[in-house]
Amino acid sequence: MNGLDLLIVLFTAFYAFSVGRSVIFWTLMSVFYGLWIPLLLLVMPVKARKPFAFPQWFVNWLGPKYVNRTINKMEQQF
pLDDT at 25: 93
Residue span of the structural domain in which 42 resides: 3-77
| Number of domains forming the structure of the chain | 1
Give the helix ranges, DSSP H, for the chain. 3-19, 23-33, 36-43, 56-77
* pTM of this structure: 0.58
Long-range pairs, 37-44, Cβ under 8 A, ≥24:
37/12, 38/8, 38/11, 38/12, 41/12, 41/15, 41/16, 42/15, 44/19
Instruction: Output Rg (C-alpha) for the chain, integer angstroms.
Output: 23
Series of mean pLDDT values for 10-residue runs along the chain (78 residues): 86 90 91 88 83 80 75 73
pLDDT at 1: 67
pLDDT at 24: 93
